[in-house]
Structure 1
Amino acid sequence: MDDGQMKKPITTTGDALRAELAGADSDSADQLLTSLGYTPEMKRNRSTFEVASMSFILASIPYGLSTTLYYPLVASGPVGIIWGWLAVSLIILTVAASLGEITSVYPTAGGVYYQSFQLAPPEWRHLAAWTCGWLYMVGNVTITLAVNFGTTLFLVGCINVFEAADGGLVFAGDPWQVFLVFLAITFLCNAVSALGNKWLPILDTFAIFWTFAGVVAIIVCVLAMAKEGRHDAKWVFTHFEVNSGWTPGWSFMVGLLHAAYATSSTGMIISMCEEVRAPAEQVPKAMVLTVCINTVAGLMFMIPLVFVLPDIQELILSAQPVPVIIKAAVGNSGGAFGLLIPLLVLALICGIGCTTATSRCVYAFARDGAIPGSRLWKQIDHRLDEVPLNAMMLSMVVQIVLGAIYFGSTAAFNAFSGVGVIALTASYAAPIVISMLTGRKTVSTAKFNLGAPLGWFCNIVATCWSLLAIPLFCMPTIVPVVDPALMNYASVVFVGFTVISIGWYVAWGRIHYIGPPVA
């Protein structure tokens, strides 16, 4: 940064002082980014509260838990819904804390990819960064796809709380209809993210208050009305019911995809580091704080629903149980749809947030030449308030192509959410494992530091979770699988991206890829 870009002395009056302090934070962050080898290209327009808001919206807990409630219902019933959520949330807290330490040292849009490169020994840092980068990028793209596709299926379920005159569905939801709705939602999220970048922090902040208002409305209405009665507390917290065909213990584990999907976005906020005023401090705090808030919000949302749960055997016949639960509780279609509107709005805001974070991830990976056609994807569009538009469009096209899987498999959402969780979880583990292998030396002086005993504990738990998640979420929800359309194709999508990654590395990367700048 030249002298012309240095901040003028801070004044000492009211609003001017706050503005100067914010500018000082931004300048300091830009200087740190420059020291890490990158030229600042994007505006730092997010405060601590705004980055925490976006982190919260990336998870969008009430919505995320709604679209995947089918999994624990089939796998283990109320025990899986409540205790599975609590268990996974505590595990994800260790992941967030572990990533927070490393992010406070390397706060760049490259996220865990850049961190893996810098932490690894020189002799294998290129391969480590390449592998982690592709996992991180694939995870970002597929989890965004899962969010938008989940919103599509959830919207279909919400519309069908109404019934046709003959008692049938109002919206049949044929594959071509579902795909067209998915396209509309995907285009909308990309348009808002691309054209409204400077307004996104305001949207994220609004979404927090909208979420809690919607959750309170749902809680009060379903518990007060409860047209089909209420279960007692013992049933809510202890009833275990397996309908998946798996053995009870393994069935419970397979049902954890519900909670894992809702918390998978934990590390995606790291990709926003170059748009945060003081990322070394703000982003780690936002990640950890958001997990804590989401844990409580998730319990607040799900426990009341379990109290008014209809018969599970009938409920699992629906791919989207939450609209059915709310309709049964309030007793009429109009009231149920009204209570579902907050979740639908939150779903769209979540899609916009994921689209934004993913575009930054793709941009950062392309910036280091790791994607075919990187020169195109690393461009910043200065007409749109410094948005990596080309990277966003690449991500959108890949999502649309993958979305076509739904024409061959009605379980496509399972594949998208599964591979997103697998790829992101594995990418989060990469810098954590490397940090442990190097004795946690780099994070020992981090601004956000856990200390040796707690740090080692969090790192080990996070690593073990990653090793479990990879095979676990490739499993079909129900066995035996007699219909190919119901198979979990997460492993197929995951292997497909792996083949592309390896092929590009052999053809180009092993000779030309030099990785991020060396700090």
Structure 2
Amino acid sequence: MSVDHRRMSKKEVGFGEDLTASSSPRPNSAEDHLADLGYESELARSRSTWQVAFMSCVLASVPYGLATTLVYPLYGGGPTNIIWGWVAVCAIMIAVAASLGEITSVYPTAGGVYYQTFMVSPPKYRRVLAWICGWSYLLGNITITLAVNFGTTLFFIGCINIFRVSDGEGGETGIFNAVDYQTYLIFFAITILTNLISALGNRWLPLLDTATMYLTFVGVVAIICTVLAVAAEGRRSAKYVFTAFEPNSGWIPGWSFVVGLLHAAYATSATGMVISMSEEVKSPATQVPKAMVGATIMNFIIGFVFLVPLCFVLPDINAFLNDPYAQPVPVILRTAVGNAPGAFVLSMPIVLLGICCGTACTTATSRCVWAFARDEAMPGSKWLKKVNRPLGIPLNGMICSFVVQVLLGLIWFGSHAAYNAFNGVGVIFLNLSYVMPIGISLFRGRKDLVGSPFNLGHVGGIIANVISCAWIMLAIPLFSMPAAIPVTLENMNYASVVFVAGVVFAGVWYAIRGRKTYHGPPAPVDPERRASADIRRASFGTR
């Protein structure tokens, strides 16, 4: 079946009509459903429900995400912030995943929350709301992928520095005190590696995701069993692990705790990114929602099992608050195991998880760029919306994402707080994009979800939507805050600066080009009209 995926004229699609009130019968296949939403199926549907769930887990790579950002709750409040912050954020993110799942079951496209925002918005405002959501989703995908690759870089350097040498003054220092250009080159190499794996190994990525789940299981079991069995410096009490609150951030205790939630929020920020894979799934209306919710629950269990043992062997928090790479987990492993080689071996699965996570994020981000570009919403859309047929991927979109990441990575030369900015702005942009379709649908009475394949029911849906909106509206200002005070040039959270820069760029491009040429995603095609169009094309031999 051939359906023009480009935007049709306003007159042809009834641009002023309320598309969310449509009661068109559901198509029989994913390709027909996608065609009815206005797009042509261009990517191979090769993923099962479990493979989508595994990819969603790999996008989060919870042990990696929690390991590379553990410094935030250590500043925020210690064990209480680590354990109960994780529990609280995961409970909230289950509501977010379920809320997104409802909407995705109606609009399962690679455009994700961007397309959904357009469809659930009032006709008068849908263009500008979709533009805001689309750019938020796009920038969130790119910056969170950047944060993952940069986090892997810093964690890898921290692992090398498990090995210590004398500093000549009676103390010890790591064997590799990387200067700025060395850190950047390692980041550059890791970013190239994840892009090459994603581009050249596309057909094998579902197998990689499955293998990564086994790696996660083996790595977590090896870490928790070893540190608890050896515990070279002893074990903490259960009371300490579950109740000790030691804020070191300088903020008042309550605010210190919530600022420390960036740790858990970062590890769960990829919840909605898997929606961009909807056009590579066999039954996206049911598979993707189930995968999102199921993966969030799996991530919670994995994270809890990973964090609790680390807190039982947690050394004096002051031992690593001044670490220039802000990577406490290698230090925790070294003190728990009692020797550097053993700690280094235990840390390697987390490094590999970081590379796998970066690959999954790169894959999802390339689909996001491609989906946004095919609606003529980006500079260079004609180039970015092309699919590389031999590789079966939107290669140009992947290259675009790569270039933006390596350019933003240059911020490291100006401030070592750049990693905080990448984490924070990725969480902010993604959460902003998630809240838009959820909030708009809730405000309009959830009428677009009537009869959806994945439905929480009226009361359950409202509760999940309200929790989602409340959390995300808190997260946006919260994660612009510095992790500690007093604020200096080094510990300043530059997430707000990058966020404003992204908003300004999107606004300027809208003023220059978007308001004249951008009309949003294509409106859903009436199945009867699509069928008659197919018959006409067939009669002329063009089908």
> TM-score by structure 1 length?
0.94
SS at match of 1:475: coil
Is residue 408–residue 485 contact of structure 1 (8 Å, CA) maintained in 2? no
Distance 1:512 1:347 in 2: 39
1:222 Cα offset (Å): 0.1
What per-residue deviation string (whole Å, max 9, x for no partner) do you get for residues 452-488 of structure 1? 011000000100111101110000011111x312211
1:444 Cα offset (Å): 2.0
Distance 2:348 2:378 in 1: 39
SS at match of 1:164: strand
Is residue 2–residue 40 contact of structure 2 (8 Å, CA) maintained in 1? no
What per-residue deviation string (whole Å, max 9, x for no partner) do you get for residues 133-166 of structure 1? 0000000000000000000000000011012355
Tell me, yes or no, if structure 1 residue 406 matches structure 2 residue 403: no
Tell me, yes or no, if structure 1 residue 185 matches structure 2 residue 186: no
What per-residue deviation string (whole Å, max 9, x for no partner) do you get for residues 341-395 of structure 1? 11111110000000000000010000000001100110100011x1100000000
Distance 1:277 1:357 in 2: 17
Candidates 215, 219, 231, aligned match of 2:224: 219
What per-residue deviation string (whole Å, max 9, x for no partner) do you get for residues 284-327 of structure 1? 00000011111111010000000000001113222100000011
1:511 Cα offset (Å): 1.6
Quote the residue 1:8 is aligned against: none
What per-residue deviation string (whole Å, max 9, x for no partner) do you get for residues 172-194 of structure 1? 12111100000000000001101
1:27 Cα offset (Å): 7.8
SS at match of 1:234: helix
Aligned-partner residue type, residue 466 of structure 1:
I
Is residue 91–residue 461 contact of structure 1 (8 Å, CA) maintained in 2? yes
1:388-467 aligned within 5 A = 388-467=394-473
Is residue 444–residue 451 contact of structure 1 (8 Å, CA) maintained in 2? no
Quote the residue 1:127 is aligned against: 128
Aligned-partner residue type, residue 496 of structure 1:
A
Residue identity over aligned pairs, in percent, reads 59
Distance 1:453 1:468 in 2: 23
What per-residue deviation string (whole Å, max 9, x for no partner) do you get for residues 221-279 of structure 1? 00000000001100100000011010000000100000000000000000000001111
1:497 Cα offset (Å): 0.5
Distance 1:126 1:469 in 2: 25
1:422 Cα offset (Å): 0.4
Task: Return 165-174 or 263-272, whichever deviates more.
Answer: 165-174
Quote the residue 2:245 is aligned against: 240
Distance 1:179 1:467 in 2: 33
Distance 2:450 2:32 in 1: 22
1:2 to 1:153, Cα distance in 2 relative to 1, 3 A:
closer
Quote the residue 2:137 is aligned against: 136
Is residue 117–residue 437 contact of structure 2 (8 Å, CA) maintained in 1? yes
1:41-60 aligned within 5 A = 41-60=42-61
More helix by share: 1
Quote the residue 1:478 is aligned against: 484
Distance 2:364 2:471 in 1: 24
1:208-357 aligned within 5 A = 208-318=213-323, 319-357=326-364
Cα RMSD (Å): 1.2
Candidates 361, 375, 382, aligned match of 1:375: 382
1:492 Cα offset (Å): 0.3
Aligned-partner residue type, residue 175 of structure 1:
D
- Give runs of ≥4 in structure 1 deviating > 6 Å: none
Tell me, yes or no, if structure 1 residue 38 matches structure 2 residue 39: yes
Q: Give the gaps of 5 or more residues in structure 1.
A: 4-25
Q: Number of residues paired by the alignment?
A: 495
Distance 1:322 1:316 in 2: 12
> TM-score by structure 2 length?
0.90
Q: Give the gaps of 5 or more residues in structure 2.
A: 4-26, 525-543
Distance 2:235 2:267 in 1: 26
Tell me, yes or no, if structure 1 residue 175 matches structure 2 residue 176: no
Tell me, yes or no, if structure 1 residue 503 matches structure 2 residue 508: yes
1:168 Cα offset (Å): 2.6
